[in-house]
Amino acid sequence: MTSGFLSRVLSAAALATIALSTTAASADGSGEVDTFYGSFGSEVPIEVPPFHGLEPRVKLAYASSGGGGFVGVGWALSGFGAIGRESPGGGTPRYDGTDVFNFDGQELVPCVAGSSSPSCLAGGTHSTRIESYAKIKWDAAANTWTVWQKDGTRATYAPVYVVGTNAFRWGLVSVSDTHANTVNYGWWCEASADCYPDNISYAGTVIRFHREARPDPLTFGNGGYLGRTNYRLKSIDVVVSGSRARAYRLSYGTSASTGRSVLTSVQKVGSDAAVDGAGNVASGSALPAMSFGSTSASLSFSGAYWAGHGGGSTNNFVGDYNGDGKMDMAGYAGGGQWHVCLSTGSGFNCAYWAGHAGGSTNNFNGDYNGDGKTDMAGYAGNGQWHVCLSTGGGFSCAYWGGHGGGTSNNALGDFNGDGKTDMAGYAGSGQWHVCLSTGTSFSCPTYWGGHAGGSENNALGDYNGDGKTDMAGYAGSGQWHVTLAAGGLPDLLGTVSNGLGGSTSVTYTPSSAWVNTNRPPIVPTVSALTTTDGRGATGTTSYRYEGGLWSSTERRFLGFRKVTGVIDGAGNYT
């Protein structure tokens, strides 16, 4: 193992795959739909020799919910576990007592007196938030983590990404059983940039992971400086007792929409493969390559006129007032009435909602109760704020005691990270009067020490809920010229061909098209899956989703309540 730096980007992609893929993809690479999240997954297994059940489960795993990483967009090299340090909510760490730890996608919870977790009862220092029945122990003196499974198998994690003197991420370095059989994991690091899986070795077997420079380096924050992922996986070489068993050659393309690396094929080459020191697989008998096609998006606007409120560009407040993932508009109409225009994705449905009377010059949009809907607040004087919480079909208003800075001295933000919008007013001498939202009122117990420190006709928002930012300009007489960003969702795995005639095609739809609760972030969901067996038979399954739930407290998507799969033209469902 080489000490150094492990990419947060690489680990994030791997952890996203683990966290979201509750339905395993098919071993033949065709892929399957995880209906709980609506995501598509596929995998390419890497064959390795057995070793008392300890052999690494190495594979290339795809999740449509994943981002860019070591194997391109959505793909990750699975088999190298990691424990990462982060701030609550998943941000960059502060390297103090407020940091939390993430183990392969699960938050680690410190053991306390009276804990009933099996890990804590067995002498561990932490447990996974969702019980995994593994004993997890942090050794501060050695700066290592050890994880025991129920069968006694022990995995050790050591620092592989260090910022100054602080470990940012601990990587898997060894796995041993109760008979002292051991598998070792090695890492290669580029100073002040990133770290990558390098090799796995056990009982005469060596698996090497070769890298190549990538045209689209990725940057990421680590709490100290910006790291940089300069490489991507090039090939995998499996050698047993000094003789090559097989190799895997990866090929990439560049997305025309985003410029990112996208995996286009993986080819397995036999024991006669010629692999040089740079990881080039030059020759050898090979199976037909598995090929992958990515979705693309045209970069343009498609314009249309939508009838909305008549407030114009100086009296327009953009927000998601009903929490459906589409951006809406509201203009003040006088007398405490707001003309709220809810987007349908192709137009506005407008109605008058009774709210505060602050008007367009005294209005602060935010999500004051953390339910995913946009609320309003206007200053009423004497430290009172008239807060109007959206119900999705109107406002429910009440007066909340807050700071007395008024309209010209008010800053909005989620200052305690609980998913609710808070307020702060500058009080002078570097002091800020911070009022934290409880969901039903403001709590302004103290002053926080901090720094002492025109209107254009353009409103940006996602008006059709497809995850892209659109534009709207006021055209007069209550008409808004809404220009929607055209094209589909780019860089998603759209086709998988197994090299033997079989193939799978995937159609995606933004999650905002389904009925959701608390406005989950927009993600691509699988709306149709078409498979061809290579012998003329083709089948398509269409998917519909309902009840998607986002937890503002957990800061994560909890899945869909109901999924319907239409499997034939007669409408028979699964």
Residue among 204, 148, 202, 203 at smallest CA distance from 177: 148
Domain boundaries along the sequence of the chain: 8-294, 302-314+330-483, 501-566
SS3 118: helix
Residue among 509, 397, 491 at smallest CA distance from 72: 491
Amino acid at 324: D
Nearest 5°: phi and psi at 251? -125, 145
Neighbours of 129 (CB within 10 A): 15
Element (H, E) at 402: none
- Structure-token pair, residue 100: 């939390």
Judging by DSSP bridges, how do beta strands 556-559 and 524-532 pair with one another? unpaired
Non-local (6+) Cβ contacts of 91 within 8 A are none
Category of 351 on φ-ψ map: left (φ > 0), alpha (ψ -120 to 50) or beta: beta
Residue among 371, 389, 306 at smallest CA distance from 549: 371
Non-local (6+) Cβ contacts of 550 within 8 A are 372, 516, 517, 518, 519, 520, 521, 556, 557, 558
Per-residue pLDDT of the chain (574 residues; tens, 9 = 90+): 333 323 323 333 233 222 323 333 344 556 888 888 889 999 999 999 999 999 999 999 999 988 889 999 999 999 988 999 988 767 778 899 889 999 988 899 999 999 999 999 999 999 998 899 999 999 999 999 999 999 999 999 999 999 999 999 999 999 999 999 999 999 999 887 889 999 999 999 999 999 999 999 988 888 888 788 999 999 999 999 999 999 999 999 999 878 899 999 999 999 999 999 999 998 899 989 999 999 887 777 778 899 999 999 999 999 999 887 789 999 999 999 999 999 988 999 999 999 999 999 999 999 998 778 899 999 999 999 999 999 888 999 999 999 999 988 888 887 766 668 889 888 888 788 989 888 889 999 878 877 666 334 656 567 776 656 565 777 788 787 776 655 667 789 999 998 888 999 999 988 888 877 665 667 889 999 999 988 888 889 999 998 888 776 666 788 888 888 887 665 555 4
SS3 512: helix
Neighbours of 269 (CB within 10 A): 23
Is residue 119 within 8 A of residue 109, CB to CB? The reply is no
512/329 Cα distance (integer angstroms): 17
Residue among 74, 83, 77 at smallest CA distance from 207: 77
Is residue 194 within 8 A of residue 227, CB to CB? The reply is yes
Residue among 244, 239, 236 at smallest CA distance from 271: 244
DSSP letters spanning 270-334: -TT-EE-TT--EEE--BPPPEEEEE------EEEEEEE--S--TTS-EEE-TTSSSS-EEEEEEE
548/562 Cα distance (integer angstroms): 8
